[in-house]
Structures are given as C-alpha cells and as structure tokens.
C-alpha cells in the first residue's frame, strides 16, 4: 500500500528542479518525427540510455515500437493504393485479353486432331498419362482457388464499408487522445512518445481509408477480370480432361485385354493337368491377380462414371447458384422469382447421401492403398526372377527328380513367375489409376457438398417470406381437394411391398436385428405396464420411495411408447435406404419416418398420464390434469397421425407443384392442433383446473388468459399462412414449432426429475431423525415431521434448489429456442453483424482491432443473469448434490458455499469484462490507484472484508459454533463478507464486525470438541459420614443420562468450609445446550439422595457471643441496680 502511495506521489507531484531542467533540455530523440528511420534511431537511443528508469524506458519502447509498426502499415497501404489505382486501367485490358483467349478456345473446341494411342508402348502411355493427371490436378486447384476468391470478392463491398466506418471511428478516438495529452501530467518523455505513436496511428488510419476507397473504386474492373480468369481456368480444365480421357480409355482397354488374356490362360491351365503342386500354387496366384485386375478395371469404370456424373451435377448447381445470385441482385424479390427459388430448393440433392458416399469412399481409398502396398511388396520380391526361381526350387521342390523333369519344372516356374511379375506391374498401374480416379471423385463430392450447402443456405434465407402458391379461394379449394385425391389414387402403392421384400432378400441382417429388438418389447407391453403400476405403489409410500424408482418408471414408459414408432421408423428407414426403389416409395419412407417421430412424442406423452404412472405418482401432477391430458391426446392421436402421413406424401411427392394438394391437409392438421390447445388450455378448466380445492399460484396459472389465446392462435395463424399461399413458410414454422414442443417437453421432464430427486433426498434426510425400526416410522406423515433446525435447513435448501432449477431450466430453454428459431429469423443470427465499437488486441506482437457486437452484449447479459442466479442459489445445489453426502459439519458446509459464491462472483465479473474486450493491462493502474484511495477511505470496511476471508479459510469460528467475544455469548448463524451474525441466548441477533474476531480475544466453546465440563459444589454438615456422602453423590452423578461416561465424572472433597465440608462435582456434558438441564437434574437428584440417607446439607450458621464490661459512671450504676431489682 505504501509502495503504491509512493508511486502516485512520484507521478502526480510537482516536478522538482532537476526534472524541470530535463524538460527544458529534452534529448533529440523525443521530438515528434513521423519517419521510419528516425523512429528506429529513437528506439536504439532509448535502449542505450542507462539513465532512464525501467518503467519509463518500457513505456517509451512500447510507444515507439507501435509507431514503427504503424509506419510499416502505412507503407503497405500506400503500395496497395497504388496497385488498386493501376488495376482500374490494367484490369480492363487484361480482361479483354482473357476474353479473347476464351473465344479462341471456344472456336477450337472439337477441332483438335485425334491421336492414335494404340501404337504407343505401355510405358510411354503411362508416363504421358501421369503428366496429364498432374496438369489436371494443377488446373483443378487453380480453378478452385479462383472460384473461392470470386465468391469472397462478391461480399467485399459491404465489408469495405464496414472497415471504412471502423477506421473513421478509430481516427476520432485518436484525435480525442491527442487532445487529452495537453492536460496529461505524465512524464514529458512518455507524453512525447505517446504523441508520436498516436500521430503514426493517425497516418496509418488515413492511408487505410485512402486504400479502401481506391479498392472500392476498382472493384468493378477487378471482379470482371476475376470472373474472366475463372472462366478461362474452367475451359482449360475441361480441355485437359478431354485430353486426358483418351489416355484413360486406352489404359482401361489394355487392362481389359490383359485381364481377358489372363482369364484365357488360366482357363487353358485349368483344362490341363496342373502338374507339380508348386506350379498349381503359382498358377492359382496368377489367376487371382488376373481376377483382381479385372475387378479393379470394373471399379475404375464405375468410379469414372460416378465422377463424371458428380462433376456434371456440381456444374449444374454452381450455374444455378450463380444465376440465382444474379437474379436476386437484379430483380430483388417477387412472386415469380420466389416460386423459381422454391422449386430450386426443392430439387436440391440431399447432402446426407453424398456425405455417406464420401465416408465410404475414404474407406475404399484406404483399402486400395493397402492393396497397392501389398502389390508393391510382391513386385519387390520378383524384382529378380532368377533368384526367386532358385529359392522356389530349393525350398518348395524338395523331392528328388531326374534332371530332365527338374529342368522342365524349373522352366515352367520361370515362365509363370515372369507372367506374375507382368500381372503385378499391370495391377499396380491399375491401382494407381484407380486411386487417381477415386481421388478426383472424392474432391468433386466434397466440393459438391460444400456448394450444395451454401446454395441451400442462400435459398432458405431468401424464400421464407415469399408465397409459393396463389391464395386459397372457392375454386382453388375444390382444385386442391381434387389434386390431393387424384395424387393419392394414382400413386404406385404396390411398389412399397415389392421394395420391402427386395430389401429383405438383399439386406436380411437389419431385418433380423429389428425383429430381435421389436419382438420382446411388443410381447411384454402388458407386463411392462403392470410393472409401472407396481413401481407407482412403491413410490407412493414414503418409507419405500427411492429416486431410482422414478428412473425405472421413465425407462419402462419409454419402452411402452416404442413398439409402434419403432415399426414405422424402421420401415421408413429401409424404404429411404433401398437402392432400387421408386421415388414414390422413398416419399412414403420419408412419411413413415416423420410419422414415427410424431407418434413416439404423442404416445410418450399419453403414457406419462396413465394411472399410477410418472405424471401422477412421481411428478405429482394433478389427477384431474392428467385425466384431461390423457383424454385429449387419445382423440388427437387418431386424427393427427393420418393427416401427417398424407401431408408428408403430398409435400414430397415428385411431379407435383408444391403448395397445391397438401394445403388442405395442412390446414386440417393445424385446426386439429388449435382445437386440442383450446380444450387443454381453457382458463376455467383443462390443465388449469383447481387442485384439491386450491388454486395454483404459479407463473403459468397467473398468466393463463395470456397463454390461452396466444397458443390457440399459433396453429390458426399457420393455417392462414398456408391458405394465403405461404405454404413453405408455414411448413418451416411448423417444423420449428414441433421442435420447440420437444424442447418444452424435455425441459418439463428434466425439471420434474430433478425436483423429485431433491424431494426424495430431503424426505430421507428428515426421516433419518426418527428412531430406526418399524415402530419408529409407523404412521409418519410428512406434514407432521419435526420442526428441528435440520428440517428447517432442508426446507430452505429445497426452496433454493427449486429457484436454481427454474433458472437453469429457463436458461437452457432460452438457448434452445435461440438455436431452433435462429434458422427462421435472421435477426437472431445477425446479432454478430451489428458492430458497436472496436477494441485493440495485441496478437503476435501486433495490435489489431476486434469488434464488439450486439452478440457480445447479449453474452454479458446472460453471464450477469447466470452469475446472479448461481450466487443466490448455489448453497442449495451444493448441499443436495454433494455436501450432504460428505462427513462434514455445518460450518464447513457454510465455508464451502461462501467461498464458492465469492469465486462465482469474481469469475462472472472477469467473464463479462472479457466479453466487452477488456484486458488487465488496460485497467491495472486504475485498479492500483483506486486500491490506494479506497484503502485510506474505507480502511475499516476493507479490514472487515479481509478478516471475513481469513475467517472462512482459517475457520476460528464456524456457523453453528457457540462463542464468547467480549461480553457477548451466543451461536454463530452467518458469516458474511463484512460482519458475522450471532444469536444470543435471548434470541437476539447481534451484528459484529469480522475484524473483532481476528484482533480481539475470542472463546469458542465448540471449536474442536462440543463437550464441556460442568462444575459445582455440594456441602454436607460436619459430623456426616463422608464416605457414604461421597459414594451416593458419585452414584447419582453416574446414573444421569446427560452425564458422559468418558471423560469419567469425578467427585472430590474440596475442603472444610465455614459451615460445611464441601465436595466438588465435575461432570461432562455432550452439548452446550445440555449444561443447564444437566446442572438442574444433578442438583435435584443429589439433594434428594442426601436427604434419603440422612445427610444434612447445612445452611450457613453464625453464633454471636455478647461480652459485658463495667461502667463506673453514676448513670450506669443506677441502671444496673434498677435492672437487678
């Protein structure tokens, strides 16, 4: 503290004479010169100046290095500005040249002479093919880079405007800092260096603005040139592919010929006698190699076809994407354009199939690499055929043969191994070609997936509020009904069982697994329901209730809801995954899959409401509400499922204009949903019906007149959107709405599970206060449980935990809603685009500007709410989740929760400060100055604060301890940051500053051991039987139930008193609260037992002796005489 005070005095006090002289005779290196060479010289001079303090030198070097970095950026901006200025004229000429090249290439397309490759040797053919493949890869990378650069440049103008705005704001801030330097009282050297850095940054900002303006002015010519270069690269790529295709075809033809030749040779050998076993082994290996080469050739053909198809699809998507972007830029949004965009969105391929194909392709490429490595190893083994022949003859031809037969076998082995070597070479080349083809296919598929996702996001973000059908009127209503009916009648329903039977024959394993999983669940549905009822009976009894019973009931309820959705989902999955299936069958599979999800959701909700089920017994839902929910879900299930099935079919069926036939089905489904909401949410009944004569006072009930019309209006509004022609919009909103229903249901179940866990834990903790055994628990009612301090603590924890649970569930639902609806409302996902201010961050030795957006502010608000919620409710969470299971005292629990609360506060403040761009280096001096000022002004408060932290760590007192400090005695009830609360024996609460417990004298009666000694005296009359008195007092003391056996009670003769012989009685009480009852009972018992044994407890007696003396006065003598008379 004194060091900090000295720093402030040093920096803010008037400059002494020596410092004033320094200010008048400043060295040359502090003059403001915005020149890179001069700045570097200044840095050297400062580094070599040994008279400067280290703190001042560090600041000077920091500012001058910042100035040097800014001047380097100035040079870069000037170079970019010059380049952009030159590109305005140069780009037009270059674009014209590139356009001429494109026209020349278009004229020459199809005129190139065909080369006869059949006469080329295989080696030359493969070398030229490898060169063409390398050129093709390079051209493909060049085209991809140009395409990515073009996509990035299309968004550059908007980013340039944002950067210009940020640069102008930065310049305004720099001007403000320069003006503030006039009033600064810092070291003059530091002021000059800081002024130099600010001037350099200002020059950097001006050059950046000039560069951005030049870039914006040259955007048109540069984007045209980039588009022309992209088109030229695409034509070069197509030309190289066309040039490479004949080589690939010739290699395939030769491989086919070799394969056929190998097959013929193998067939001839199979027809003849194989001869020696060694010859048969080599011939079998050659046969396998020939078959493998044929298989590789077939795979290469399939991969080439898939690659060509994927490339064509990619070109089409890229062209559609570019056309859509151009149309949106030119025409904006209109009904006709919206209809076109919706059709393009509908016809986009599903990227999931391509992603699955890419994963399988990666595995396939890995397998082929391993196979190619094995072929290379075999080739190395046959690099010297003669050596392999000698090895084979030595190791494998072991029997004795005549020289002629042996020579014949050796010649046949030599011929077969040479043939094998040739086959291995061809197979290796085939594998390399195959890998190249698969690599091209993988790159094309990944590019297709990325482009398709970008195109889908582009369309989805622009077609949400565009009508895709005319409004539904009288004649349109009849046409829609007729279209829907005719579509369902013309559908090829007979293809569905055929497709399923074909799938069973081709893929029997999934069907067998499905039957193995489905059959037990379906067969035991009734027994599962009986088990749920039995678990409900056990959970209704407080003595047998366990949280594990709720987990069991939840699992069993899920199993009961599975059979029907499992069948529907499995059939839908197989219809969508089948390869040879009609488009209508795939649509039916999609409908069955969606139906399975909806059926499981509604069926699970229905089973939650069965008698003695989760809702009624475990979650304590009202029986009336459960009955109403069960009744309404029953009829809604019967209506919503067929409507959903038909709706999905009409939505996805090919060859039908979207927004026509399915609208009536969608409107009917929404009206049914609105009806069930009206019946469930009516304020005077339904789920809001009174519970046991008491009205619920929760948030939902209080605002029931708000929820009722709002929830009922949502499906009606969606039906209105569909009728107005916004069918796609209504469908997307409905999908997000059902996701929200899933989220709400999951949140309610999670809330009730945690609430049940807490309630069961609290109940068991309270029941633990009763004596063990059946008699101790008979007839226990939770309302009649004792009102002990532990019971009060548990009830308080329950309230705290409930609040924390509500807060956590609420935050989770908020985040879930943001995730679900951010895809629908771009305003939610656009928070990150609203820049509020910039802050400087040092990264890699350079200072960069990072924006603070509305998303950062939202994060700060969320952090503040989370911090407040956790700080207020963390004691309940720690108690229920951890501390109640640990063998620790109440004081330890209180210290743990207090320290956790302080940690959360500090972490929350740091997180909020960091989210707003704050760093410690920016506020450390302010914190230091404030620390010194507050240390003097609020010394006592800070002393009590530090004392409170010491108490929590050192723990000289704990919550629940009985202490005496000064003339105050009582029980510690709370230890807070500034003061501690003590409740005295008159039930008065005293607030004592924490500093008192650290600096003053303190008696803690229960610090290490709550056992205390009770001492008092008992006196017996003189002449009593002392041995008998001692024995009866000792026996009486030992017989009391409040007296501890260890330490052992003691009775000693203390001494001879004035009127009695005094005994000292020393006993030990278990608790401080037992001292007064123990003293009372012992006094009563000792008095009674002494009286019964004839031992007298004397009271104090005094004998007064009066002594007379003679008085010679006449008055006294006369008085004496008269007294005698």
Please choose, from the candidates 803, 958, 939, the residue with its C-alpha nearest in 3D space to the C-alpha of residue 895: 958
Separation CA 699–CA 810 (nearest Å): 13
Q: What percent of the chain has pLDDT over 70?
A: 74
Tell me which residue has tokens 């004839």. Answer: 1094
**Residue 353 in tokens:** 């199939």
In this predicted model, what pLDDT tens digit does every residue of 138-184 receive, in sequence order? 887 888 788 778 777 777 777 787 788 778 888 887 887 887 777 77
**C-alpha pair distances (Å), 681 with each of 521, 625, 814, 817, 931:** 34, 10, 22, 22, 57
Q: Look at residue 471 and tell me whether its pLDDT is greater than 80.
A: no
**pLDDT score, position 16:** 34
Separation CA 260–CA 294 (nearest Å): 8
Tell me what the mean pLDDT of segment 804-819 comes to.
76
Query: What's the DSSP call for residue 778?
Result: T
Tell me what the mean pLDDT of segment 321-341 comes to.
66
- Provide the residue ranges of all domains of the chain, joining segments of one domain with +: 28-109+117-223, 278-460, 495-609+626-634, 815-999, 1009-1125
Q: How would residue 850 be classed by pLDDT, with cut points 50, 70 and 90?
A: low
Sheet containing strand 1061-1069, edge to edge, reads: 1012-1020, 1061-1069, 1050-1056
Q: How would residue 368 be classed by pLDDT, with cut points 50, 70 and 90?
A: confident
**pLDDT score, position 954:** 66
Separation CA 897–CA 903 (nearest Å): 10
Q: Look at residue 23 and tell me whether its pLDDT is greater than 50.
A: no
Q: Look at residue 31 and tell me whether its pLDDT is greater than 60.
A: no
Region of poorest pLDDT, from 309-318, 640-649, 776-785:
776-785
Q: Look at residue 1091 and tell me whether its pLDDT is greater than 80.
A: yes
Q: Work out the angle between the directed axes of helices 662-681 and 727-767 (0-180°, nearest 10).
A: 30
Q: Look at residue 1122 and tell me whether its pLDDT is greater than 60.
A: no
Please choose, from the candidates 226, 286, 232, the residue with its C-alpha nearest in 3D space to the C-alpha of residue 259: 286
Region of poorest pLDDT, from 19-33, 298-312, 467-481, 713-727:
19-33
Q: How would residue 26 be classed by pLDDT, with cut points 50, 70 and 90?
A: very low
Which residues, in sequence order, are bridge partners of residue 1016?
1065
- Tally Cβ neighbours within 10 Å of residue 574: 20
Tell me what the mean pLDDT of segment 857-878 comes to.
74
In this predicted model, what pLDDT tens digit does every residue of 262-291 receive, in sequence order? 555 545 544 444 567 778 888 888 888 877
Q: Which of 136-140, 527-531, 691-695 is the most confident on average? A: 527-531
Q: Look at residue 721 and tell me whether its pLDDT is greater than 50.
A: yes
Query: What's the DSSP call for residue 53?
Result: -
Domain 1009-1125: CATH class, spelled out: alpha beta
| Residue of higher predicted confidence among 665 and 697 | 665
Which residues, in sequence order, are bridge partners of residue 971?
962, 983
Q: How would residue 772 be classed by pLDDT, with cut points 50, 70 and 90?
A: very low
Q: Look at residue 861 and tell me whether its pLDDT is greater than 70.
A: yes
In this predicted model, what pLDDT tens digit does every residue of 921-939 receive, in sequence order? 555 555 665 566 656 656 6
| Residue of higher predicted confidence among 1118 and 393 | 393
**Residue 492 in tokens:** 């090829």
Count Cα atoms within 13 angstroms, Cβ side, for 992.
30
Q: Look at residue 679 and tell me whether its pLDDT is greater than 60.
A: yes
Q: Is-contact 1086 1045, C-beta < 8 A?
A: no
pTM of the entire structure? Answer: 0.52
Tell me what the mean pLDDT of segment 509-531 comes to.
84
**pLDDT score, position 920:** 59
**pLDDT score, position 596:** 92
Region of poorest pLDDT, from 20-29, 460-469, 515-524, 943-952:
20-29
**Residue 223 in tokens:** 């984007």
Q: Look at residue 840 and tell me whether its pLDDT is greater than 70.
A: no
In this predicted model, what pLDDT tens digit does every residue of 695-704 receive, in sequence order? 445 556 666 6
Please choose, from the candidates 822, 685, 698, the residue with its C-alpha nearest in 3D space to the C-alpha of residue 748: 698
What backbone phi and psi angles, to 5 degrees, belong to 35?
-145, 130
Q: Is-contact 1069 1042, C-beta < 8 A?
A: yes
Separation CA 74–CA 201 (nearest Å): 9
What backbone phi and psi angles, to 5 degrees, belong to 1018?
-130, 125
Q: Look at residue 720 and tell me whether its pLDDT is greater than 60.
A: yes
Q: Look at residue 313 and tell me whether its pLDDT is greater than 70.
A: yes
In this predicted model, what pLDDT tens digit does every residue of 94-141 receive, in sequence order? 888 888 888 888 777 655 556 667 777 776 777 777 787 778 778 878
**pLDDT score, position 65:** 85
Q: Look at residue 818 and tell me whether its pLDDT is greater than 60.
A: yes
What backbone phi and psi angles, to 5 degrees, belong to 464?
-65, -40
Separation CA 766–CA 234 (nearest Å): 78
Please choose, from the candidates 427, 493, 778, the residue with its C-alpha nearest in 3D space to the C-alpha of residue 645: 493
DSSP H stretches of helix in 562-614: 563-577, 583-608
Q: Look at residue 634 and tell me whether its pLDDT is greater than 70.
A: yes
Tell me what the mean pLDDT of segment 35-48 comes to.
82
Separation CA 251–CA 941 (nearest Å): 89
Q: How would residue 830 be classed by pLDDT, with cut points 50, 70 and 90?
A: very low
Q: Look at residue 1013 and tell me whether its pLDDT is greater than 70.
A: yes
- Tally Cβ neighbours within 10 Å of residue 1046: 7
Tell me what the mean pLDDT of segment 866-889 comes to.
66
Which residues, in sequence order, are bridge partners of residue 841?
848
**Span between the terminal Cα atoms of the chain, in Å:** 98
Region of poorest pLDDT, from 288-297, 360-369, 1018-1027, 1044-1053:
288-297
Q: Which of 239-253, 606-620, 683-697, 1088-1102 is the most confident on average? A: 606-620
Tell me what the mean pLDDT of segment 1022-1047 comes to.
85
Give CA torsion, residues 268, 271, 273, 276, to 10 deg. 60
Query: What's the DSSP call for residue 463?
Result: S
């Amino acid at each position: 503290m004194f060091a900090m005070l000295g720093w402030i005095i040093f920096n803010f006090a008037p400059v002494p004479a020596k410092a004033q002289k320094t200010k008048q005779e400043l060295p040359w290196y502090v003059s403001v010169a915005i020149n890179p060479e001069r700045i570097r010289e200044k840095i050297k001079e400062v580094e070599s100046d040994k008279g400067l303090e280290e703190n001042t030198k560090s600041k000077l070097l920091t500012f001058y290095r910042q100035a040097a970095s800014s001047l380097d950026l100035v040079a870069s901006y000037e170079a970019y500005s010059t380049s952009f200025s030159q590109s305005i004229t140069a780009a037009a000429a270059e674009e014209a040249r590139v356009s001429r090249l494109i026209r020349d290439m278009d004229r020459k397309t199809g005129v190139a002479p065909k080369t006869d490759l059949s006469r080329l040797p295989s080696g030359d053919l493969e070398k030229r093919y490898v060169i063409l493949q390398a050129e093709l890869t390079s051209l493909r990378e060049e085209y991809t880079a140009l395409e990515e650069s073009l996509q990035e440049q299309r968004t550059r103008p908007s980013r340039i405007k944002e950067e210009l705005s940020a640069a102008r704001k930065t310049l305004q801030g720099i001007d403000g800092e320069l003006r503030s330097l006039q009033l600064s009282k810092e070291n003059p050297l530091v002021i000059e260096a800081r002024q130099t850095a600010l001037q350099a940054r200002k020059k950097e900002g001006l050059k950046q603005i000039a560069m951005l303006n030049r870039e914006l002015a040259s955007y048109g010519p540069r984007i045209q040139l980039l588009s022309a270069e992209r088109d030229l690269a695409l034509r070069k790529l197509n030309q190289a592919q066309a040039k490479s295709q004949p080589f690939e075809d010739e290699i395939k033809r030769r491989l086919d010929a070799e394969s056929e030749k190998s097959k013929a040779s193998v067939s001839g050998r199979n027809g003849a006698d194989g001869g020696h076993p060694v010859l048969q082994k080599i011939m079998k290996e050659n046969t396998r190699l020939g078959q493998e080469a044929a298989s590789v050739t077939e795979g290469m053909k399939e991969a080439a076809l898939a690659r060509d198809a994927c490339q064509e699809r990619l070109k089409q998507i890229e062209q559609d994407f570019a056309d859509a972007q151009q149309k949106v830029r030119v025409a904006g949004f209109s009904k006709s354009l919206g209809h076109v965009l919706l059709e393009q969105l509908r016809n986009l391929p599903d990227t999931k199939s391509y992603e699955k194909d890419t994963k399988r392709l990666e595995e396939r490429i890995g397998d082929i690499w391993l196979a190619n490595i094995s072929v290379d190893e075999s080739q190395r083994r046959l690099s010297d055929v003669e050596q392999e022949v000698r090895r084979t003859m030595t190791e494998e031809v072991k029997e004795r043969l005549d020289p002629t037969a042996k020579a014949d076998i050796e010649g046949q082995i030599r011929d077969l191994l040479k043939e094998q070597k040739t086959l291995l070479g061809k197979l290796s080349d085939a594998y390399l070609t195959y890998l190249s083809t698969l690599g091209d296919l993988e790159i094309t598929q990944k590019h297709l997936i990325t482009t398709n996702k970008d195109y889908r996001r582009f369309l989805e973000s622009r077609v949400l509020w565009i009508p895709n059908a005319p409004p539904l009127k009288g004649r349109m209503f009849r046409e829609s009904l007729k279209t829907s009916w005719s579509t369902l009648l013309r559908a090829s329903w007979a293809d569905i069982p055929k497709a399923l039977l074909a799938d069973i024959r081709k893929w029997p394993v999934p069907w067998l697994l499905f039957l193995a999983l489905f059959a037990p669940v379906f067969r035991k549905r009734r027994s599962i329901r009986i088990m749920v009822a039995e678990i409900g009976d056990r959970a209704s009894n407080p003595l047998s209730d366990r949280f594990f019973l709720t987990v069991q009931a939840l699992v069993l309820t899920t199993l009961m809801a599975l059979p029907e959705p499992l069948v529907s989902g499995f059939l839908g999955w197989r219809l969508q995954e089948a390869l040879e299936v009609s488009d209508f069958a795939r649509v039916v599979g999609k409908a069955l899959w969606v139906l399975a999800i909806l059926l499981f959701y509604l069926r699970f909700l229905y089973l939650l409401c069965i008698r003695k089920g989760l809702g009624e017994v475990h979650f304590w839902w009202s029986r009336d509400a459960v009955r109403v929910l069960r009744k309404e879900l029953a009829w809604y299930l019967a209506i919503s499922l067929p409507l959903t099935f038909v709706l999905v079919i009409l939505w996805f069926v090919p060859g039908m204009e979207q927004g026509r036939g399915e609208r009536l089905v969608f409107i009917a489904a929404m009206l049914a949903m609105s009806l069930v909401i009206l019946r469930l949410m009516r304020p005077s009944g339904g789920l809001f019906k009174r519970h046991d004569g008491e009205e619920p006072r929760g948030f939902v009930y209080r605002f029931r007149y708000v929820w009722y019309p709002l929830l009922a209006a949502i499906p009606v509004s969606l039906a209105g959107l569909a009728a107005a022609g916004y069918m796609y919009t209504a469908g997307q909103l409905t999908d997000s709405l059902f996701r929200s229903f899933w989220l709400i249901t999951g949140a309610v179940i999670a809330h009730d599970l945690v609430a049940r866990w807490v309630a069961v834990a609290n109940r068991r903790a309270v029941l633990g206060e009763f004596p063990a055994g059946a008699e101790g628990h008979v007839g226990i009612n939770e309302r009649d449980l004792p009102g002990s301090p532990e019971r009060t603590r548990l009830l308080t924890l329950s309230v705290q935990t409930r609040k924390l649970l509500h807060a956590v569930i609420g935050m989770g639902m908020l985040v879930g809603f943001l995730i679900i609806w951010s895809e629908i409302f771009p305003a939610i996902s656009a928070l990150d685009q609203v820049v509020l201010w910039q802050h400087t961050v040092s990264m890699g030795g350079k200072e960069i500007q990072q924006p603070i957006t509305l998303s950062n502010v939202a994060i700060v608000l969320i952090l503040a709410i989370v911090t407040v919620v956790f700080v207020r409710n963390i004691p309940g969470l720690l108690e229920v989740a951890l501390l109640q299971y640990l063998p620790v005292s109440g004081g330890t629990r209180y210290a743990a929760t207090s320290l956790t609360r302080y940690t959360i506060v500090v972490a929350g403040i740091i997180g909020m400060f960091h989210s707003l761009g704050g760093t410690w280096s920016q506020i450390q001096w302010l914190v230091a100055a404030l620390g010194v000022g507050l240390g003097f002004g609020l010394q006592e408060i800070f002393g009590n604060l530090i004392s409170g932290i010491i108490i929590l760590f050192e723990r000289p007192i704990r919550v629940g301890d009985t202490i005496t400090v000064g003339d105050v005695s009582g029980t510690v009830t709370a230890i807070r940051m500034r003061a501690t609360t003590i409740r005295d024996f008159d039930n008065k609460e005293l607030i004592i500053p924490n500093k008192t417990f650290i600096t003053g004298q303190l008696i803690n009666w229960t610090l290490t051991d709550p056992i205390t000694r009770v001492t008092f005296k008992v006196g017996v009359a003189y002449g009593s039987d002392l041995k008998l008195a001692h024995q009866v007092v000792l026996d009486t003391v030992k017989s009391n139930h409040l007296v501890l056996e260890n330490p052992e009670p003691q009775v000693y003769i203390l001494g001879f008193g004035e009127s009695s012989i005094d005994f000292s009685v020393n006993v030990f009480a278990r608790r401080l609260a037992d001292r007064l009852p123990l003293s009372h009972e012992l006094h009563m018992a000792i008095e009674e037992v002494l009286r019964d044994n004839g031992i007298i407890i004397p009271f104090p007696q005094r004998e007064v002796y009066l002594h007379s003396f003679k008085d010679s006065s006449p008055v006294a003598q006369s008085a004496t005489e008269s007294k005698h008379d």
